[in-house]
């Protein structure tokens, strides 16, 4: 499967459902009054199942008066260009990538937090590297300005090392895994399924995962939904319905994981087992967890409201409060995390300017949904990844650094 390629294509599933057109076709226009045409909305994702509840929105026709078009645009630059041009209105992407884009002039704002890495991402090292104390003079593979790059930069900062203590080799995820296998780099900072390939190198071992590293407490490896600022200002009602449909789809998937996995797999063109693998290391955030991320009334951050059935991080694992105000698990982490990402990327010339969090984060839509009671209507907190994985994934090495010993 191709995860990072510079392409854009319109996927199946977005059939138009205009009642007025149907009435004309059936000769029944005299039996009903005028029906307003649905609003066209295009959303871009990459080939990644936590971004794919949009296919459930399409399949179940959840977005009222919206004709939803889901596009796969793998490249960050291509996705940003599509949003600037108006080809798409919203996108799913990592928070750090949105910070970078906003700081470089892309007119977008984060309106929701879609999912959190919860073991999906791994830092795999060659023999002899056992922690940051061994990082000096090593090389690591990561995509420039993407979450795996940010994770390593934060790891270096927390350890008191300079950002160039380890040398970045700019590689796409699949390229990084291949380079590590060939011995060309020392550390692969990656996510499943690519991280699993790196474990085939003799002596390779997982230093940590996003679960054991507790990155989920501060949203350090998490994903968001961001929309064009101008479109948000001009279409508040449409934006609200679009996000309501997203949270309904997420809630439905949690309650119907087998059928949801089928819909998502069909939309992405994947095997269902690959969907289960992705979801085994990710948490789909509900509206209450979104309110908690923004620090709004009625919400609880993910770290205060972990999904039912999800594995737990080791009790003695280290949080990230040292990079903030000393607290590891807090409501309202979104603003401080935005500011940290902006600061770090500015220092390594990925971010073009400093953009205050209040200019990049827009909580108006989720606040409006809360006022409508949506956070109570769609409140499931089940872990989609609870389903058993196919036999090909039942290998102990695959889960190194994801589950603590004995889990």
Residue 401 structure tokens: 């650094």
Q: How far is CA 172 from the centre of its chain?
A: 17
Residue ranges of domains in the chain: 8-116+222-386, 121-209
pLDDT at 308: 86
Count the neighbouring beta carbons within 10 Å of the beta carbon of residue 269.
Answer: 11
Residues of the chain with pLDDT under 70: 1-36, 395-397, 399-407
pLDDT at 14: 35
pLDDT in tens, 376-386: 999 999 999 88
pLDDT at 400: 67
pLDDT at 7: 30
pLDDT in tens, 168-180: 999 988 999 999 9
Q: Please indicate, yes or no, whether the overall pTM of this predicted structure exceeds 0.85.
A: yes
* Domain 8-116+222-386: CATH class, spelled out: alpha beta
pLDDT in tens, 192-245: 888 888 999 999 999 999 999 999 999 999 999 999 999 999 999 999 999 999
| Span 121-209 CATH architecture | 3-Layer(aba) Sandwich (3.40)
CA distances from 135 to 90, 140, 157, 175, 197 (A): 38, 9, 12, 21, 21
CA distance 151 to 164: 14
pLDDT at 391: 78
Q: How far is CA 177 from the centre of its chain?
A: 20
CA distance 156 to 137: 13
Q: How far is CA 407 from the centre of its chain?
A: 25
Among residues 75, 93, 98, the alpha carbon closest in space to that of 350 is found at 98
**Phi and psi (nearest 5°) for 195?**
-60, -30
Q: Quick check: do 8-116+222-386 and 121-209 share a fold? A: yes
Please tell me the number of Cα atoms within 13 Å of 269 on its side-chain side.
Answer: 11
pLDDT at 396: 66
């Amino acid at each position: 499967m191709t995860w990072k390629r510079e392409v854009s294509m319109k996927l199946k599933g977005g059939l138009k459902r205009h009642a007025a057109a149907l009435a004309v076709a059936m000769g029944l226009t005299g039996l009903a009054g005028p029906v307003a045409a649905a609003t066209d909305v295009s959303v871009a994702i990459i080939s990644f199942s936590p971004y794919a509840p949009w296919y459930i929105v399409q399949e179940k026709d959840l977005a009222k008066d919206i004709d939803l078009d889901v596009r796969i645009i793998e490249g960050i630059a291509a996705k940003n260009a599509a949003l600037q041009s108006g080809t798409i209105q919203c996108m799913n992407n990592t928070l750090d990538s949105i910070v970078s884009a906003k700081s470089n002039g892309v007119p977008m704002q984060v309106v929701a937090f879609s999912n959190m890495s919860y073991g999906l991402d791994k830092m795999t090292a060659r023999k002899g590297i056992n922690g940051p104390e061994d990082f000096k003079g090593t090389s690591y593979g990561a995509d420039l300005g993407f979450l795996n790059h940010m994770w390593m930069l934060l790891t270096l900062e927390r350890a008191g090392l300079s950002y160039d203590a380890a040398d970045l080799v700019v590689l796409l995820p699949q390229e990084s895994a291949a380079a590590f296998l060939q011995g060309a780099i020392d550390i692969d900072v990656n996510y499943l399924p690519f991280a699993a390939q790196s474990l085939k190198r003799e002596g390779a071992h997982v230093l940590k995962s996003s679960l054991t590293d507790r990155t989920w407490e501060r949203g350090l490896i998490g994903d968001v939904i961001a929309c064009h600022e101008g479109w948000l200002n001009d279409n508040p009602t449409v934006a609200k319905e679009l996000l309501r449909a997203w949270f309904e789809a997420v809630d439905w998937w949690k309650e119907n994981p087998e059928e949801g996995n089928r819909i998502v797999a069909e939309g992405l063109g994947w095997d269902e087992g690959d969907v289960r693998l992705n979801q085994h290391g990710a948490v789909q955030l509900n509206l209450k967890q979104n309110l908690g991320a923004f620090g709004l009334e009625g919400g609880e951050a993910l770290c205060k409201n972990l999904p039912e059935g999800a594995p737990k991080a080791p009790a003695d694992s280290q949080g990230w409060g040292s990079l903030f105000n000393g607290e590891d698990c807090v409501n309202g982490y979104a603003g401080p995390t935005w500011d940290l990402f902006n600061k770090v990327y500015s220092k390594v010339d990925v971010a073009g300017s400093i953009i205050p969090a209040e200019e990049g984060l827009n909580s108006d839509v989720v606040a409006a949904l809360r006022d409508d009671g949506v956070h109570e209507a769609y409140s499931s907190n089940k872990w989609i990844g609870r389903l058993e994985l196919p036999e090909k994934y039942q290998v102990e090495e695959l889960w190194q650094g994801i589950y603590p010993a004995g889990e």
